[in-house]
Structure 1
Amino acid sequence: MSVWATVLLFSAASLPAMGEPVPVPSGMEVTFHDVVREEPVGTGPIYRFRFVAPEIGGDSPRAHSEVSGDMDRLCQDYALPRLSEVGPPPSRVLISLMEVPVEFGVASPEIAQYFEAYSIGEDRCIWEAF
């Protein structure tokens, strides 16, 4: 039996098209990429909202500390309002920033990526340390 079942969600009505810009507090360029739903055995679903943010890579990358507020905002103002459209209530929401699009589940150590996990409570995202 599989520990994880992964389904890519592209058809939810409230999700924008892949590549649509999403404003963040830092002002860096961020675009929506996709949502991945995971079903760990014994817990509720986990939704990974994945975004492309070229400025986290390259010759002068932005540090995680510079974009953590962006990730908080992406959870609160972007993911949270769309949760009812993508499926049942999640056990956790993960926000991912990647320098360039990366296939989900494929190791890409040469590509800069940042991840944050959040639980959902009282209509807000609550940051969780990994």
Structure 2
Amino acid sequence: MRAGVLALALSLGPAAAAQEEALRLPSGQAARLFEVLTDRPAGGGPIYRFRYVAEGFSAGAERLDAISADLAWLCEAHALPRIPNSGPRPGRVIISLADRGSEFGVYDEAVTQVFEAYRVEGDRCIWEMF
């Protein structure tokens, strides 16, 4: 795991995350939480990374709208309720969706993965262009 990135204890250890029920996304795809990571860059609020896996996931321009809706739904319906209410609010929430698990920060050409960054406003995730 990359220096400065720590696994976040949100009452979910790696084994618990693997056992969590599949989430039915707006597109109909089923996804599971793979892991949650956090770090705190200098001068900003914490960044929460929620990484999800959906077997058979594929990306492509023709699926852009469905994928965007799935990522936004994962942020608002699943990730935000799992961020602690005490302490500093997140500077960003990053949602990723992949066809299989992979080591964070390590490129693997066999993995299909997409991700988006959001800022949090109340109970809403607002898309942030990279």
Segments of 5+ residues of structure 2 without an aligned counterpart are none
- Distance in 1 of aligned mates of 2:11 and 2:5: 20
SS at match of 1:18: helix
**2:24 is the counterpart of 1:23:** yes
Change in 2 beyond 3 A, CA 1:29/1:118? same
- Distance in 2 of aligned mates of 1:45 and 1:113: 23
Show the 5 A alignment for 1:48-127.
48-57=49-58, 63-84=63-84, 88-127=88-127
SS at match of 2:65: helix
Kindly report structure 1 stretches of 4+ aligned residues shifted beyond 4 Å.
none
What is the CA distance between 1:105 and its match in structure 2? 1.1
User: Match of 2:7, as an amino acid?
Assistant: L
What is the CA distance between 1:57 and its match in structure 2? 3.5
Asked if 2 retains the 8 angstrom alpha-carbon contact of 1:29 and 1:55, the reply is no
Q: CA RMSD in A?
A: 2.5
SS at match of 1:54: coil
Identical residues among aligned pairs (%): 40
Give the equivalent residue in structure 2 for 1:7.
6
SS at match of 1:115: strand
Change in 2 beyond 3 A, CA 1:95/1:115? same
Segments of 5+ residues of structure 1 without an aligned counterpart are none
Change in 2 beyond 3 A, CA 1:93/1:103? same
